[in-house]
Amino acid sequence: MSLLSAVMLAAEDGGSEFEAPTVEHSFFFDKIANGEVVSSVKAMVLLGLGVILIMAFYLAASRKAAIVPGKMQFAGESAYGFVRNGVAIEILGGTNGRKWAGFLATLFSFIIIQNLWGIVPFAQMPVTSHFAIPVLLALTVWFIYMFVGIQKHGFFGFFKLMCYIPGIPAAMHLLLIPIEFLSNIILRPFTLAIRLFANMFAGHMLITIAAVGTLYLWGEGGVLNYILGVLPFVGSLGLVFFELLICSLQAYVFVLLTAIYLESSLADSH
């Protein structure tokens, strides 16, 4: 069940049979006949809806393009310009930055929308808290990173660029080449996926626990419990605003690291 469902469960139990929120309460929704938890249909619906919203937004923003932009055009240009100027051109330079700006802006839009589902009423679940989504995004970035690097430098040239550091004693290569290979080739998709997943997963669980704690205390009755219940209630509201910041920050960090990886793949030297 979602955050809303977990809160309703606590309210219905009235505190006497309180069930603490778990991963199943917060991230999985659908069960087959024998009661086993299966993949969340709601997550897939939100994923598809997010893609439709992004497409609709940019189509509406570009539909009646004019020299003096309207509100939608201004919003679309601002979102795209933020990534193009603040990430793509800043990291990749003018030529490569403009070339990759569309991809990076699309990636940023997708991630931030899927993150923000976690604080939208009745949706209340960040799609990126399902590990498969960050893994897919990270692997996509990794394959592009490898492809453009090998395309520019050749297979052996790319791996030399990533793993060989010129100008150091020869004996040091025995230690540094495996470290550079592990860091630049193996761990990059792993760290991209874990960073996004862990932040969105943890944030959603914190909000869930605070909200359910409020209903648990209020369901117990008594003046003291009502007073104490205000604390997790205020905390849950604060966490929602904090989660809004985290949603935006994690989308930005993911895209920023993607640009850095592409820059290192396209660079002429280590």
Domain extent, residue 198, equals 3-266
Total tally of structural domains belonging to the chain = 1
The whole-model pTM stands at 0.83
Q: Residue 9: name the closest of 240, 17, 202 by CA.
A: 17
CA-to-CA dists, residue 112 to 150, 156, 208, angstroms: 30, 36, 20
- What six digits make up the tokens of 131? 């590990």
In the DSSP assignment, the letter for residue 88 is I
* Residues 247/108, Cβ–Cβ less than 8 Å: no
**Per-residue confidence at 15, pLDDT binned at 50, 70, 90?**
very low
Does residue 60 surpass a pLDDT of 70?
A: yes
- What six digits make up the tokens of 77? 């240009």
- pLDDT value at position 86? 93
In 21-55, which positions are buried (b, 16+ CB within 10 angstroms) versus exposed (e)? beeebbbbbeeeeeeeeeebebbeebbeebeeebe
Does residue 31 surpass a pLDDT of 60?
A: no
- Alpha-carbon span 60 to 134, nearest angstrom: 28
Does residue 65 surpass a pLDDT of 80?
A: no
Q: For residues 225 and 145, which has the higher predicted lDDT (pLDDT)?
A: 145
Mean per-residue pLDDT for 220-247?
Answer: 83
